[in-house]
Amino acid sequence: MMMMFRNHVQATSSTVLAMMMTRSLRYSSSSSSASAASAAASGAVERMPKFLVTGSTGQLGVQLVSLLRSTFGAASTLATDVRLPTDQNMLNEGPYAFLDVTNGDAVRRLADQHEATHIVHLASLLSAVGEANPELALRIGNEGTKNVLEAARDCEGGSPRTVYAPSSIAVFGPSAGKVAGDKSHLMPSTVYGITKVHLELLGAYYRKKYGVDFRSLRYPGVVSATPGGGGTTDWSMDMLMYARQMLSDKAAGKTTTAIPFECFLKKDTFLPYVSMDDTLNETVKFMSASQPPQCTYSVTGLSFTPEQLHESIRRHIPEFEVTYNPCAVRQKIADSWPDSCEDSAARRDWSWNPAVSTADALVDQILFHEDADDAGEQNLQKATIK
């Protein structure tokens, strides 16, 4: 099912994706633009970009795989993960393979078999689950990233593959201050944050030493109508899914639940966020831009507290109640992160320009315009049956 918000993403992304196709000509023979030009002049076969996506079954992976396939064709994008997607569309619509990113040979073999020009590396353990299993978080985060970068540099008979791998506001710790940006001190207090600092530094190293076009965005909490994967910002999606359920119950004439939504952060915890729609659009724009001066950029859409999101929801559902029961681990992580981010370099260098900048706009988009995908619907039901 093509989602309503995806149609919007689709329309606005097709131009930048077309630019990416042009850029992918560089992969047809050599990394030097002079050689690429002469290859093009001599009639060398143009290559469409081909993507290998790790961590495809996660919150962002499901949406990005679908967008890439619908733009470049079903065969363009090899979705991979260590688990099967709950969303059957991912299996039905294009190629899928089991891939454990800690297995370097397997990463390289699949990238070669698929003739990937781009690796989109999403696999990682998010902040809260990372704290529950630091050893696994380090293996997936550090070894996985090294394996992806190695597969990118050692590309069978061609120039290095492009790597897009998101970073996170988790790279910041208390020393970064309440407004953090590209020049802030990086002293994370979570293992997840440490793996993201490692990712940023190693990516920059591979760009300098081996010419790998490595790009990364420091995402704040990405908000969609689908469940998160064990992050500190997941409460926002949980609250919005609960509200969607109440709305659909009301529309179906059912009595709405009187059980308040329980939030795992304190009501006045400010954090930065970005809508899923903006994340997809702007990520694809970033991937398609000619190589920006920095490998990594801080970005943000808006900041809000749980209490503010609740108030925005109550414009549509006045009976929506929230109780606050802070989780010690996640509250500590949230308190170590900035309230908001400074993203002027991203705006200047490649026109980062998210559309959603208020909690009201975010709520309206998610409650009324964004359809959860099938997996999301299933999880939505699980999440709201208490």
> Residue 219 or residue 261: which is nearer to ligand AKB going by CB?
219
Minimum Å distance from CB 127 to ligand AKB?
3
Q: Does 279 participate in binding ligand AKB (rule CB under 6 A)?
A: no
Among the listed ranges 35-43, 80-88, 216-224, 244-252, the one in contact with ligand AKB (CB under 6 A) is 216-224
Tokens of residue 386, six digits: 């208490």
Of 231 and 326, nearer to ligand AKB (C-beta) is: 231
With binding defined as CB under 6 A, does residue 302 bind ligand AKB? no
Residue tagged 């309206």 (tokens) = 364
The values of phi and psi at residue 168, to 5°, are -160, 160
CB of 148 to ligand AKB, least distance (A): 18
Task: In angstroms, give the least distance from the CB of 237 to ligand AKB.
Answer: 9
Distance CA 156, CA 176 (A): 41
Q: Which of 168/296 has CB closer to ligand AKB?
A: 168
Q: Does residue 152 belong to the site contacting ligand AKB (CB under 6 A)?
A: no
Active-site residue, 192 included: yes
Residues from 223 through 242 that contact ligand AKB (CB under 6 A)? 231-233
With respect to ligand AKB, which residue has the nearer C-beta, 95 or 228? 228
Do 372 and 5 meet the contact criterion of CB atoms below 8 Å apart? Answer: no
Beta-carbon neighbour count of residue 177 at 10 Å?
Answer: 12
* Nearest-approach distance from CB 231 to ligand AKB, in angstroms: 3
Q: Cβ-closest residue to ligand AKB?
A: 231
Residues 161-200 close enough to bind ligand AKB by CB under 6 A = 168-170
Instruction: Scan for tokens 């469940």, then name that residue.
Output: 227
Task: Find the catalytic residue in 27, 96, 164, 192.
Answer: 192
The CB-of-35 to ligand AKB minimum distance in angstroms stands at 39
Cβ closer to ligand AKB: 53 or 126? 126
- Least separation, in Å, of the C-beta of 210 and ligand AKB? 27
CA-to-CA distance for 243 and 234, rounded, in angstroms?
A: 14
Contact status, residue 116 vs residue 78, Cβ threshold 8 Å: yes
- Does position 341 interact with ligand AKB (CB under 6 A)? The reply is no
Interaction between residue 372 and ligand AKB (CB under 6 A): no
The mark string for 104-133 relative to ligand AKB (x by CB under 6 A, - otherwise) is ----------------------xx------
Indicate the residue among 125 and 246 with the shorter CB distance to ligand AKB.
125
Q: Interface residues with ligand AKB (CB under 6 A)?
A: 126-127, 168-170, 219-221, 231-233
